Amino acid sequence: MITDAVDLLVIFVLAAFLGFEVISKVPSILHTPLMSGSNAIHGIILVGAMFIASQAQGALQTSLAFVAVFLATLNIVGGVVVTDRMLDMFKSRQQTKAIRPEDGAKSDTKR
Amino acid sequence: MTAAIHISANGLTAVYLLSAVCFILALKALSSPRTARYGNLVGVAGMVIAVLVTFLVQAPGHDWVIGGAMGLGALVAVPAARTVPMTAMPQMVAMFNGVGGAAAAVISVAEYLHDLPLGVPAEKGVPIVFALVVGAVSFAGSALAFAKLQELMTGRPVIYPGQQVVNGIVGVAIVALAVLVVVTPHLVAITLLAIAALALGAGIVLPVGGADTPVLISLLNSFTGLAVAADGFVLDNVILVIAGTLVGASGALLTKMMSDAMGRSLPNIVLGGFGATPAGGATAIGAGQERSVRSADATDIGTLLAYSRKVMIVPGYGLAVAQAQHVAVELARALEARGVEVAYAIHPVAGRMPGHMNVLLAEADAPYEELEEMDQANDEFPSTDVALIVGANDVVNPAARDDPGSPIYGMPILNVDSAANVVFLKRSMRPGFSGVDNALLYDPRTTLLFGDAKESLTKLLAAVKTS
């Protein structure tokens, strides 16, 4: 790779500041979806698990790599699906909001 | 199978940069209701780009390990995440966070074992140890938080004498073992270190309970981010450092926002603020049975509602558990048809996660304009005839406002006690999630209707229609 430890340190510090800045002012209804969404993002550890798998030697290291890839995949897939389900609720609310003013009578007859 | 596609180191870094930009945009979009859904999709795009290219570059000879484990992971995760009820979302987040922490810890151990025959230099040993400890703490803590929220064990704080001392000793042991692992690399030492870190994770979560648990999950989410970043240093990988650090930093800020929304300080939560009065819950229940409460049947309360001018519905966790949101909205419609003004007062942390009530009521098609946030609702309670509390307790407990000795003192609440009448729909006299008794239940203006929220609301609906 083209990076050394100091380069990574620079990236680390800048990313930390960016992480603080990027989510300023989150309404409380989005706290949990944001937690869940960022939870999915740290599933990027899958990339690390793949590196481990590709260099694994012997049964123990291969097993550890298999476990790591499995767990990281759970993290990504589960995190994304759970976040999507939470945010689905926002979609239905916005649609309800959009339909109501122009066509209130229709949505009433539906139930 | 596929031979490795040759991509230069620079090329790979460029791909990772693209993926990092996606993650930044995703976090940004996720913090606004309008763009949140798009945010999740951009995050997925960043993930697919990084994972796909890494797979093509790294896979030769080990395709089956990676492919098999990924397939198995997806096979387990999709049904689990799809079928879980909305009420169980916080513990699912805890679980998927925990496995990420575990993956980070396992990776650092695997890399350590890989390098052991040649010796592990200190500049690599330090991030290895960090990723292992933080990842393992996150895993054990998340697993315990899952168990608490899933009610596999008590959701209350678990306190025992000398708890802080025990956690302190484990902490010191971790530091000592970590130094040992870095200075004189050894298999036994790193195994003991992993065990100690797991114990610390459990030790941190045990004394935290009640409504504080989701805040703690957010903190552990931030921890996992940091463990991932540390693995980035271990593996000399830019995207792990960037994405892990983004989550670590934004997660820390989010944790602070969540605890602020509950009027609690983070140190207070982590050090077990509720723990100060471990026996308080029990005595409060005992004392509660001495005092008298007023309960009524559904017909009486239905009439009260039907002839009110203004009713505020205050939903809480009980509504979620009973899946009563549809009946609640139906009751509101029936009241509105009679000319009663109806609104929903939403406490930011009602339920078990912020936004829980908005999500449920939106699902039941409650009109957006009728969902009122705390400040707006509190302006309206003095002119409200009936505050109808459906399965909420802590978020309307006046002790949080009036009693400096109460464990929940300082949490902002809905001032339902300024309404002319208060009606509680409750399953039992048991105190709320925090275990703190609610004096409002014994107030002369308060009427209780015992039973499952859905059944009670259905009875009220029938009563309103016939009165």
Highest mean pLDDT among A81-95, B77-91, B350-364: B77-91
How many Å apart are CA A44 and CA A51, to the nearest integer? 12
Q: Do residues B304 and B338 make contact, with C-beta atoms less than 8 angstroms apart?
A: no
Measure the CA–CA gap between B36 and A32, rounded to whole angstroms: 12
Domain boundaries, chain A: 27-101
Mean pLDDT of B280-303: 60
Cβ-defined contact of A45 to B250 (cutoff 8 Å): no
The answer to whether residues B240 and B334 belong to one domain is no
Res B387: pLDDT? 94
Mean pLDDT of B29-54: 92
Residues B358 and B220 both lie in one domain: no
Contacts of A78 in chain B (CB under 8 A): 77, 80-81, 92, 95-96, 99
- CATH number at B376 reads 3.40.50.1220
The bridge status of strand B386-390 relative to strand B310-315 is: parallel
Q: Is the dihedral of CA B346, B349, B350, B354 positive or negative?
A: positive
Residues B247 and B346 in one domain: no
B394 classed as catalytic: yes
Position B263 pLDDT exceeds 60: yes
Q: Which of A13, A38, A81, A86 to mutate to test the interface with B (most CBs of B within 10 A)?
A: A38
B208, B146: one domain? yes
Distance between CA A35 and CA B463 in Å, rounded? 42
Q: Highest-confidence range of B272-281, B393-402, B423-432, by mean pLDDT? A: B393-402
Length of chain B: 467
Let me know if B278 is exposed, middle or buried by CB neighbors in 10 A (0-12, 13-18, 19+): middle
Of B224, B244, B276, the one marking the end of a domain is B276
| Mean pLDDT calculated for residue range A49-78 | 95
**From the CB of residue B275, how many other CB atoms can be counted at a distance below 10 Å?**
18
B304 and B218 share a domain? no
Give the largest CA-CA distance in chain B. 84
Confidence band for B97, pLDDT divided at 50, 70 and 90 = very high
Residue B308: phi and psi, rounded to 5, are: -90, 165
Q: Is A44 on the interface with B (CB under 8 A)?
A: yes
ipTM of the complex: 0.84
pLDDT score for B1: 44
Whether residue B73 is contained in a domain is answered as no
Place of tokens 């802080």: B164
Angle at B439 between CA B435 and CA B441, to 5 degrees: 95
| Contact predicate B144/B205, CB 8 Å | yes
- Does residue B6 form part of some domain? no
pTM attached to this predicted model = 0.72
pLDDT at A110: 39
* Number of domains composing chain B: 2
A56 and B62 Cβ atoms separated by less than 8 Å: yes
Q: What is the mean pLDDT of chain B?
A: 87
Residues B244 and B338 in one domain: no
Asked whether residue B8 is assigned to any structural domain, the reply reads: no
Whose CA is closest to B110, among A1, A73, A53?
Answer: A53
Q: Which of B70, B134, B69, B68 is nearest to B97 (CA)?
A: B134
Selected residue with higher pLDDT from B395 and B278: B395
Task: Tell me if residue B263 falls in helix, strand or coil.
Answer: coil
Count of C-beta atoms within a 10 Å radius of residue B56: 15
Contact A80/B43 with Cβ under 8 angstroms?
yes
Closest-approach residue (CA) in chain B for A57: B114
What are B369-392's pLDDT values in tens digits? 888 888 899 999 999 999 999 988
A76 — pLDDT class (breaks 50, 70, 90)? very high
Is the pLDDT score of A99 beyond 50?
A: no
Same domain, B223 and B298: no
Sign of the dihedral through C-alpha B234, A48, B243, B50:
positive
**Domain for residue B14, yes or no?**
no
- Decide if pLDDT at B59 tops 70: no
Q: Nearest C-alpha of chain A: how many angstroms from B125?
A: 13
3-state secondary structure of B406: coil
> Residue A8 and residue B232: Cβ atoms within 8 Å?
yes
Q: Is A59 on the interface with B (CB under 8 A)?
A: no
B430 pLDDT more than 60? yes
Q: Verify whether the Cβ–Cβ distance B66 to A54 is below 8 Å.
A: yes
Q: Averaged over B81-95, what is the pLDDT?
A: 88
CB burial of residue B154 (10 Å; 0-12, 13-18, 19+): exposed
Higher pLDDT, B350 or A109: B350
Q: Nearest C-alpha of chain B: how many angstroms from A107?
A: 10
Instruction: Give the confidence band of B283 by pLDDT, cuts at 50, 70, 90.
Output: very low
Where does B364-461 show beta strands of DSSP type E?
A: 371-373, 386-390, 421-426, 446-450
Claim to verify: residue B267 and residue B155 sit in the same structural domain: yes
Examine the domain organization and report whether B272 and B348 are in the same domain: no
Transcribe B105-150 into DSSP letters: HHHHHHHHHHHGGG---HHHHHHHHHHHHHHHHHHHHHHHHHHHHT
Contacts of A106 in chain B (CB under 8 A): none
Query: Is residue B118 domain-shared with residue B259, that is, in the same domain?
Result: yes
Residue B390's identity, in one-letter code, is: V
Q: Which residues, in sequence order, are bridge partners of residue B234? A: none
Q: Which of B96, B116, B344 has the most A C-beta neighbours within 10 Å, making it the best mutation to test the interface with A? A: B96
Structure token pair of residue B322:
């009973």
- Higher per-residue confidence, B432 vs B207: B207
Q: Which two tokens stand for residue B193?
A: 């270190």
Residue B1 counted as domain residue: no
Kindly state whether residues B356 and B207 are assigned to the same domain: no
Query: Which of B241, B276, B311 is the C-terminal boundary of a domain?
Result: B276
Residues 6+ apart with CB under 8 A from B71: none
User: Which among B9, B240, B250 has the least Cβ separation from residue A22?
Assistant: B250
Instruction: Tell me: pLDDT of B416 over 70.
Output: yes
CA atoms of B328 and B307, how far apart (whole Å): 18
pLDDT at B282 over 50: no
* Residue pLDDT, tens place only, B200-226: 999 999 988 777 888 899 999 999 999
pLDDT of residue B428: 79
Q: At what angle do helices B238-261 and B9-30 cross, to 10 degrees?
A: 10
Q: Which domain holds residue B457?
A: 293-466
* Between B215 and A106, residue with greater pLDDT: B215
* Catalytically annotated residue among B394, B403, B437, B443: B394
